[in-house]
């Protein structure tokens, strides 16, 4: 019964973490290009209760053994990078990545980050930046007096000046990772490269398995509320069941304690 108390407590803690992950998914249901997380569980060590090497007699043995598990825990929380739906904005600077890939940005501390948030802007110096002010890499500027900006599916950025002259000003590149789930999330729709993600491979949109760019669209969050609400209910019920185990074990211990009286 003491074992059951500790085992149930691990289940309660694991389900609390599951609910925390689900809560973050629901909170970001309207976050541009947000990628949902999934909690993954594993069982803990098992206690061997048959101390005679599974022998049931001098000539026979137990074919299954006698083990009791000691609970569960969160083994990992994985980002799910499947495509979110594309939402039309009508803004010429908005680009959605249709397929695999990340835009490369320069963070405030000078390091390199990666994002799928294509809600692009022009800063006071004319550079193309993200909503957080991070400059898109490679850098290029839009001159004052530009009347129209066109971004092709392959990332070619061209502008039309006030006198109607069309010129190319740069190319948007995409980066892919062998294991995008290994990227480190730092908030602001931005990820950092890690040893687990592998090194980024830079390329032209639409080439070598990279997605294309869709001007005038942004990628919506890939969170599906129906799924998250189901996970929330499942986690809540599992938490309640584990708490019931704690209550039952406490009642049994109380019964044993009363036998002394």
pLDDT score of 160 more than 60: yes
* Whole-angstrom distance, CA of residue 256 vs CA of residue 184: 50
Q: What span, in angstroms and rounded, lies between the C-alpha atoms of 197 and 189?
A: 17
Structural domain boundaries, residue 228: 224-261
The C-alpha atoms of residue 161 and residue 189 are separated, in whole angstroms, by: 32
- Give the whole-angstrom CA distance, residue 173 versus residue 155: 6
Are 118 and 238 part of one and the same domain? Answer: no
Cis peptide, bond prior to residue 212, ω within 30 of zero: no
Question: Which residues, including other chains, have CB under 8 Å from residue 178's CB and lie 6 or more apart?
Answer: 197, 198
- Cα dihedral 216, 217, 218, 221, rounded to 10, equals 160
Average confidence (pLDDT) over 193-209: 94
Residue 143 has pLDDT above 90, yes or no: no
The pTM assigned to this predicted structure is 0.86
Q: Are 254 and 176 in the same domain?
A: no
In the predicted model, is pLDDT for residue 53 greater than 80? no
For residue 103, the SS3 value is strand
78 within a domain of the structure (yes/no): no
Give yes or no for residue 261 having a pLDDT over 70.
Answer: no
- As a whole number, the mean pLDDT across the chain is 90
Do 152 and 105 share a structural domain? Answer: yes
| Tens of pLDDT, residues 163-186 | 777 888 889 999 999 999 999 999
How large is the greatest C-alpha to C-alpha distance in the chain, in angstroms? 99
Both 138 and 239 in one domain: the answer is no
Within 8 A by CB and 6+ apart from 143, the residues are 126, 159, 161, 169
Query: Which residues on neighbouring strands pair with residue 37, listed in sequence order?
Result: 79
Task: Express each pLDDT in 207-251 by its tens digit.
Answer: 999 999 999 999 999 999 999 999 999 999 999 999 999 999 888
The average pLDDT across 85-106 equals: 94
Q: How confident is the model at residue 90 (pLDDT cuts 50, 70, 90)?
A: confident
Same domain assignment for residues 129 and 164: yes
Which is nearest to 237 in space by CA: 6, 1, 11, 29?
11
Reported confidence tier of residue 61, pLDDT bands at 50, 70, 90:
confident
Predicted local confidence at residue 251, as pLDDT: 87
- The mean pLDDT value for 193-219 works out to 95
The secondary structure of residue 226, as a DSSP letter, is H
Same domain, 91 and 120: yes
Q: Do both 197 and 253 map to the same domain?
A: no
Is residue 4 packed enough to be buried (19+ CB in 10 Å), middle (13-18) or exposed (0-12)?
Answer: middle
The verdict on 200 and 234 lying in the same domain is no
As to burial, measured by CB atoms within 10 angstroms (0-12 exposed, 13-18 middle, 19+ buried), residue 170 is: middle
Q: What separation in angstroms does the CA of 152 have from each of 101, 213, 216, 223?
A: 16, 7, 11, 28
Give yes or no: residues 204 and 251 share one domain. no
| 65 is a domain residue | no
pLDDT of residue 24: 96
- 177 and 251, same domain (yes or no): no
Checking if the pLDDT of 255 tops 90, the result is: no
The arithmetic mean of pLDDT across residues 62-89, rounded, is: 88
């Amino acid at each position: 019964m003491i074992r059951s108390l500790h085992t149930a407590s691990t289940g309660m803690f694991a389900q609390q973490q599951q609910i925390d992950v689900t809560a973050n998914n629901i909170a970001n249901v309207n976050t541009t290009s947000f990628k949902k997380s999934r909690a993954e569980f594993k069982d803990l060590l098992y206690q061997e209760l048959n101390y005679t090497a599974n022998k049931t007699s001098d000539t026979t043995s137990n074919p299954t053994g006698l083990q009791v598990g000691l609970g569960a825990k969160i083994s990992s929380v994985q980002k799910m990078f499947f495509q979110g739906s594309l939402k039309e904005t009508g803004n010429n600077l908005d680009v959605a990545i249709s397929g695999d890939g990340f835009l490369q940005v320069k963070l405030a501390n000078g390091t390199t980050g990666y994002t799928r948030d294509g809600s692009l802007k022009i800063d006071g110096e004319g550079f193309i930046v993200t909503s957080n002010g991070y400059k898109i890499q490679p850098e290029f500027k839009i001159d004052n007096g530009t009347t129209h900006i066109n971004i092709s599916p392959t990332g070619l950025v061209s502008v039309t000046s006030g006198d109607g002259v069309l010129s190319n000003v740069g190319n948007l590149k995409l980066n892919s990772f062998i294991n995008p789930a290994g990227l480190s999330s730092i908030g602001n729709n931005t990820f950092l490269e890690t040893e687990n993600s592998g090194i980024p491979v830079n390329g032209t949109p639409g080439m070598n398995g990279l997605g294309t760019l869709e001007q005038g669209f942004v990628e919506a969050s890939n969170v599906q509320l129906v799924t998250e609400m189901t996970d929330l209910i499942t986690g809540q019920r599992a938490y309640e069941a584990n708490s019931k185990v704690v209550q039952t074990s406490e009642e049994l211990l109380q019964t044993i304690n009363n036998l002394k009286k």
